[in-house]
Chain A
Amino acid sequence: MSQNSIVVTSLSKTFSFPVKSATAGWVKNLFSPEMREIIAVGGVSFSVKAGERIAFIGPNGAGKSTTIKMLTGILFPTSGTVSVLGLDPTKDRKKLAYRIGTVFGQRSQLFPNLPLTDSLEFFGVMYGMSDTDIKARVLELVGLFDLASFIDQPVRKLSLGQRMRAEVAAALIHRPEIIFLDEPTIGLDVVAKKILRDLLITINKEEKVTIFLTSHDVGDIESLCDRTIVINHGMVINDLPTKELARAFAYEKHIDLIPKTSFKKFPTLPAGSSYFLKNKDKITVTVDINKLSVQDSLKKLLELFEVEDVDVYNTELETTIRHIYERDSPRQ
């Protein structure tokens, strides 16, 4: 866990596209259209050590997918440098492809009409593996990803959960050192999500594969990634261990109040606090600790209510992430 797998320095990507002008004639619009530019990524820097499990998160349009595509050599950066496994993806795309795996949650790379074995063998050949190696690796992946029950079925007949497991297995056929996953759990049910997360942790631990994942699913981040990089408006706004994320940005606390008998009145709360849940058996109060300290809020709440038990805890990671996105000022 000491060597850097990925080093990104001042990476930026600007997309430019023609915009039709209502005032200009069609000739101008066709041959010399007005160009508009969008800065998708604006000077991102970070590094990832071998074996890390990284969540690369941000709201829609934040620049996550653009960054991942520059790391894998699909997109060319406008400026800045990228080094993945010591290679420059813009110059060594093919060389790099042999050492990385990619899963794009919304795009399948498998043959829909053929059994999964055909796709796995196909990718084995694509990555230049020998027939013996392919057979051995397929057997390994079948065991690891529990593919045996559906490996002979045409891919189009698989459930979404099975297909995603198959997609990840296909991306691992050549034993990549890094796997990039772009929203791998999108559309999956809770059981399928858990299975996939557990599998990713297993391959990270057993095969030392570095995991670089984008997701909108807080569960993916919490249960899978030990470090989270938050990106918004094309800039890295936070980069810290996942377990510290909630702590560092939890400026809201929840306070549960359990009544001695039951709550009958719900008086106005002190400034900086509000009801999250109003029940005769339980009240949950949300406190903004920037406006009201936990100590003061407890003191005031205990004056207002007669309680048997009190519980103070952080808000969920999802709320914390929402706050991070909301806090970040819009791009100028």
Chain B
Amino acid sequence: MKEIRLANKIIKTLIKDRIQYPGRLFADTSSLVARCGVLLLLYSYVFKLNNGVVNGATFDVVAWSMFFYFSFSVLGLSSISRRIMNDVTSGHVEVFLSKPIVYLSYRAWWAIGTGIYPFLVVTPLGALALALTVGIPQTMTTTLFISTFVAAFIGAIALTLLVYSILGLFAFWIEDASPVFWVVDKAVMILGGSYLPIALFPDFMYKVALYSPFGASVFVTHTAYESWASVWYKLIGIQLFWILVLGTVTYLMFSKAVKKVSVNGG
């Protein structure tokens, strides 16, 4: 109960903080429009050249899948990694360790709180624009889609936070974990289908996207496809598996990390 109240307070406080800077919201929106919009324009041309179907997928499905990726990225959950690294390298971690909080959980709620406001503003607007331009695919109108999408979305949040927390925790050992962050971040982008829609992945890459935690952390991109109806339980199962594994790894790493804390002036 106390944890939920604190999470609620973190989110409310950070929304209040973000509202003070409408310019940042504009930047987030522009970034989404630029990145997602350009790719969708390119792919619409590719699909047109191929009579509207590539590898069994239609453009509207691919467009929504890519939109899910970019919309999810607006949440900015990967920022947890940089925040942990900064806390460690600047020594600010000592402030949090002297408070009655679970540091990683606090940082997770902080990451959600930082991204939720742009997400809540940008996503409905983007979804509306997409619905008006490419329509809503039939696969997204089923009851199964609505219920399983929520599960995949929550799983994606949990798994993303775990993947990036682990990266951040590396800072306790190697101080600058930016190169590792870069590699993982790009792996998530590629396997999540941000550049190339997952429907167009070669078989080997599709398997990597399916079974690696990086691909699993953005399974929301699979939900728009027709295949989702037959594989959703398997994919959510994979997500759960990785959540358990990475949750354990994060717990063990953090237990070791707090014993390694060394802060300037102490």
Query: Hey, which bits of chain A sit against chain B, CB under 8 A?
Result: 15, 40, 63-69, 72-76, 93-95, 97-98, 100, 102, 104, 106-107, 109, 111, 113-114, 118, 121-122, 125-128, 180, 182
Contacts and interface: CB of A to CB of B under 8 A. Distances in A.
Interface stretch (B61-69, B73-81, B91-99, B131-139): B91-99
Contact of A97 (B13, B92, B100, B259): B100
A15 B98 CA distance: 20
30 contacts: A40-B266, A65-B263, A65-B265, A69-B94, A69-B263, A69-B266, A72-B97, A73-B98, A74-B94, A74-B98, A74-B261, A74-B266, A76-B259, A94-B101, A97-B100, A97-B101, A98-B100, A106-B265, A107-B92, A107-B95, A113-B20, A114-B16, A114-B17, A118-B13, A122-B9, A122-B13, A126-B6, A126-B101, A127-B100, A180-B98
Contacts of B2: 128
A75 B266 contact: yes
A73 B262 contact: no
A94 B5 CA distance: 17
Nearest to B100: A97
B258 interface: yes
A180 B258 CA distance: 20
B100 A76 contact: no
Nearest to B99: A97
Given A122-B13, A126-B6, 16 more contacts: A65-B265, A73-B98, A74-B263, A74-B266, A75-B261, A94-B100, A98-B100, A107-B95, A111-B13, A113-B21, A114-B13, A114-B20, A118-B13, A125-B5, A125-B6, A126-B99
Contacts, number: 79
Interface string B186-220: 00000000000000000000000000000000000
Interface string B1-26: 01001100110010011001100000
B158 to A, nearest CB: 23
Contacts of A40: 266
Contact of B9 (A66, A73, A125, A182): A125
Given A15-B262, A69-B266, A104 B94 contact: yes
Nearest to B259: A76
Nearest to A93: B97
Nearest to A100: B98
Contacts of A97: 98-101
Contacts of B13: 111, 114, 118, 122
A114 B9 CA distance: 14
A118 B16 contact: yes
B6 A73 contact: no
A278 B221 CA distance: 84
